Structure 1
């Protein structure tokens, strides 16, 4: 195929992916009460499962905790004429993207796979399933861990008792969206490392060399998005560090397979 033919093929894959997101988003649009009252506004209430979990831990250890408060000391408001409608539209679109992520991956795979050898396609079986599972795990981690921890900290933070937190709906929804999508993409780290190793940009030696730097970056990231206590930071940091270690193992496996292939080709030439 020519370059323009490839672009045309890519265009149709993008169109189908966009249509899938729009269709799912339209369905989500009519589920307004569930999307907002249950999902988006869930972390703003103290009966959210994450708050109860951390409250039980703090109580069992004999500590006072903001997770045990009756309610969070802030209100969510809308200050724009079309603010609530706009939030409804964007929440539906992002719901469409998250739910339709496996199909988007499927379209991406259909575009890439014709350029692979038969053996490479066989070795990549399960790509869509594994990548989707990792993405959804990241989404759940972002929603149930990162979002409530950041909301609890930022929503209760005050520089003065005379200043009250009245949070705009768009700002609140953006906080959850960024946490959820960012964690979903972050959990794709093993898949990303797999392909980067295949093209020779990453090796286990490089990842081991910069592991200490990665640890510092993860801890800083955890400190920024969580309340200022060590327990919360460790809870956020542990899954990311585990993913990093898994990525090192995957990178080593890929290089080992590539070395076997090269050795086999060398024998065949002899």
Structure 2
């Protein structure tokens, strides 16, 4: 005899559909803002590109300008610049939409941790890209042009290749500067302890140079300038994770005391 399947709960089905509708609305709102900002950034893409290309211009010999090696190079480069700027500018709005979608399903203590986690993620991303722009790119190009000067040859810098190099640097530094956030999250979830993070230092140093070799272009200077901050960020993550670990344990003492009182009976209770 064939068993009949249990009919689906209409309330659960309706709740699932409403969540999908809300997710769609949040994605549409995020996409609209990204597209609007892309249009604005594309209009000003020339100015944005000049601003973000300053590390290159400051490294070029006097009177020399960068070039494009093909007709479509300028269009694709400006489009890439506008898209990158639109993503960065829309990031707070996109994260807010993600937060508004998941927040109703979180407990109060999860909300208290999630919001600082999002803010710190954006902060470290911006710090990583800023560090790459103000320190890594100027140093890298001065390093390259110093070698070119020794040969007596002129370097004709293609702007399209410059942006491929720059985006790789931005991506590598923006991603690796999230290390403290990852450490805090792992400790908060109970997956690792701060003591385990300390014991893993020697492996992290080796891993930092391996990660730097993968994420940055193949030059020693960029790899070194990523690996060293990565090790320092790991140490910062241990300190921040230690604060989270202490705060997470703080409420446990009253709870255990309350449990002991409950098991032993209240002083004023009946025998």
Query: How far did 1:134 drift?
Result: 2.3
- Among residues 43, 56, 61, which one is paired with 2:55 in the alignment? 43
CA contact (8 A) 2:168 2:217 kept: no
Q: Does 1:20 align with 2:10?
A: no
Query: SS of the counterpart of 2:192?
Result: coil
Q: CA RMSD in A?
A: 3.5
Q: Does 1:259 align with 2:249?
A: yes
Instruction: Give the distance between the partners of 1:12 and 1:255, measured in 2 at CA.
Output: 37
Gap change, CA 1:156 and 1:4, over 3 Å in 2: farther
**Greater Rg by CA:** 2
Instruction: Give the distance between the partners of 2:258 and 2:219, measured in 1 at CA.
Output: 60
Instruction: Give the distance between the partners of 2:17 and 2:145, measured in 1 at CA.
Output: 51
- Among residues 18, 32, 42, which one is paired with 2:45 in the alignment? 32
The alignment covers a number of residue pairs equal to 244
Instruction: Give the distance between the partners of 1:17 and 1:36, measured in 2 at CA.
Output: 24
CA contact (8 A) 1:76 1:172 kept: no
Query: How far did 1:173 drift?
Result: 0.4
Query: Paired residue for 2:111?
Result: 121
Unaligned runs of 5+ in 1: 48-69
Query: Paired residue for 2:7?
Result: none
CA contact (8 A) 2:179 2:230 kept: no
CA contact (8 A) 2:23 2:101 kept: yes
Query: Which TM-score applies when normalising by structure 1?
Result: 0.72
CA contact (8 A) 2:212 2:223 kept: yes
CA contact (8 A) 2:95 2:118 kept: yes
